[in-house]
Amino acid sequence: MNDLLHKNLAGGDRAKRDQDGKPLQHAEATSMPLQAKQREAQPRAMITKDGKRVDHAEAAKRFLAAPEHQTFHDERLWDMRRKRDRQAFAIDEWEELRELASKIKEHTLTHLDTYLEQFEAAAKANGVTVHWAKDGDEHNAIVLGILRDHGAKTLIKSKSMLTEECGMREFLTEHGIDITETDLGERIQQLDNEAPSHVVVPSVHKLRMDVSDVFARTLGTEPGNDDPHYLAESQRRTTRPLILAADAGLTGGNFLIAETGAVVTCTNEGNADLSANTPKLHIASVGIEKLVPRVSDLGVFIRLLSRSALGSPITQYTSHFKAARAGATMHIVLVDNGRSARLGLKEFWTSLKCIRCGACMNTCPVYRRSGGLSYGFTYSGPLGLVIDPTFDKHKFSNLPFASTLNGSCTNVCPTKINLHEQIYAWRGVMAREHEVPLAKKTAMQAAGVVLGNPKLYRAAIATADSALSMLPRFATYNRLNAWGRGRENPEPGGQSFHLWWAKNRAGKAKGGRP
């Protein structure tokens, strides 16, 4: 099956090898090796001033101006997509699984109140303290309160997009809490004072020399030494003592199970387990949409998650945290931060089905060529285009236009979110609510008038020059020739089809007007 379309997917891997030359089997390690050849500065995120729109196109242009970074980024993420395909095609019931996952999430989200209460009751019965946070500020205040109650000054935490979304690290740091990230990629980003660029592989936009620079600056590693094993080991040696001495640990959660009250984490580095099991205090911050009703539902998602994310059958660690271990304390903070409002958006509520696998980013031709930081928020790629505007419609009003509407994201989504249709729908919302720049709107109004009137249209494309000003620079909102900057214009076809017909066929056609 699929021999023509997929034969390239069966190609040999340039697998990463250990010191004895044996290929590493670890999912992340088996991806493409790092291939930095010479120094090129790492492209950085744009600075978006308050009240301004995120300019994805501008940041993307700067990312593309760093070809080594861009090429590595594109190849690395495409490799993850290929591995995902291989895993997906090895399971006969793959499409059935996606459908099932989508239906379970639909059921849960449409009965969210019931399952949240069930979860809370089960967690309390397990001896866990449950908190409810309506937004990011409330979440951060709750976490700080718990830490202060326990006299905790140092916190280790595993990678959590929710806490990024809430701006927790900055808040707690301002309030005197010393934080150490336990996920390697997220630790790199923390040390570089930069946001994660991908929900699964947060520093994927960096080359290993970039990491070497960050570690030399912050951990005192040998400048210029970019050996991945040396860098990873140095990070481990400097971070382990901080982990062992930490007063508290914080994790996110990939899933909440209503019937058991458990928080389930899925990691490849065991970083959630380190954060939860080392200190005497474990705080789990989880978005309310992460619920599934039963343990038996979880299997569907576990089978989909890592296959979709990294192209490995399962994450190295899948841990259920139900209760605090002897002598320890566990808190769960259930966070809304806009989720229940999103649940009320007719066209966009199914985005809450997302399990943060990142498959939509890996397959996205725009994401791979612009980098996650170009989206200006925690969530990037197709997922970001769909949910970022729910946080700030004006600030993220350009994002729904950072897509070719190709639809590949929808096809890889393990919970079958119709991402590209939601991106299209957001464009309509932005235009209706006057969030499209005036010049662009005016150009579209002009195009609408011309294309709605045969005489005006014929006049507009009558000469090669006038046609070129309209097509393909069609309806562009500035006078600069954005088409011609990197591409040749099409040659004018001489006589249009319309004129050819008038000359050769008008009145002679067999069809005739019905």
Site for another protein in 399-428 (CB under 8 A): 400-408, 410-412, 420, 424, 426-428
Tokens linked to 177:
């809490």
The DSSP call for residue 23 is: B
Question: What is the chain's Cα-based Rg?
Answer: 26
Number of Cβ within 10 Å of residue 190's Cβ equals: 21
Distance of CA 317 to the CA centre of its chain: 21
Does the protein bind another protein through residue 507 (CB under 8 A)? no
| Contact residues for 336 (Cβ-Cβ < 8 A; gap 6+) | 132, 133, 134, 135, 287, 288
By rule CB under 8 A, what string of x and - marks binding of each residue 427-446 to another protein?
xxxxxx---x---xx--xx-
CA 1 vs CA 78, 96, 264, 306, 382: distances in Å: 22, 18, 36, 24, 29
Short-list 357, 183, 342, CA closest to 254: 357
Q: How far is the CB of 356 from another protein (least distance, A)?
A: 18
3-state DSSP percent of the chain in helix, strand and coil, to 5: 50, 10, 40
64 binds another protein (CB under 8 A): yes
Shortest Cβ 59–another protein spacing (Å): 10
What is the bridge-based pairing of β-strands 255-257 and 262-267?
antiparallel
Give min distance, CB of 186 to another protein, in A: 27
Q: Which one, of 250, 286, 272, 254, lies nearest residue 156 by Cα?
A: 250
Say whether residue 498 binds another protein (CB under 8 A): yes
| Chosen residue from 20, 50, 465, 488 binding another protein by CB under 8 A | 488
Between residue 369 and residue 388, which ones bind another protein under the rule CB under 8 A?
369-370
Establish if 86 lies at the interface with another protein (CB under 8 A).
no
Q: Does 91 bind another protein (CB under 8 A)?
A: yes
Sheet holding 154-157, edge to edge: 129-133, 329-335, 281-287, 248-251, 154-157, 178-181
Q: How far is the CB of 418 from another protein (least distance, A)?
A: 11
What's the closest the beta carbon of residue 403 comes to another protein, in angstroms?
Answer: 7
Number of residues counted as binding another protein (CB under 8 A): 99
Is residue 514 within the footprint of another protein (CB under 8 A)? Answer: yes
Indicate which single residue of 89, 132, 317, 391 sits in contact with another protein (rule: CB under 8 A).
89
Q: Please choose, out of 35-43, 330-338, 383-391, 495-503, the segment that lies near another protein by the rule CB under 8 A.
A: 495-503
Closer residue to another protein, CB minimum distance, 7 or 22:
7
Residue nearer to another protein on the CB measure, 43 or 253: 43
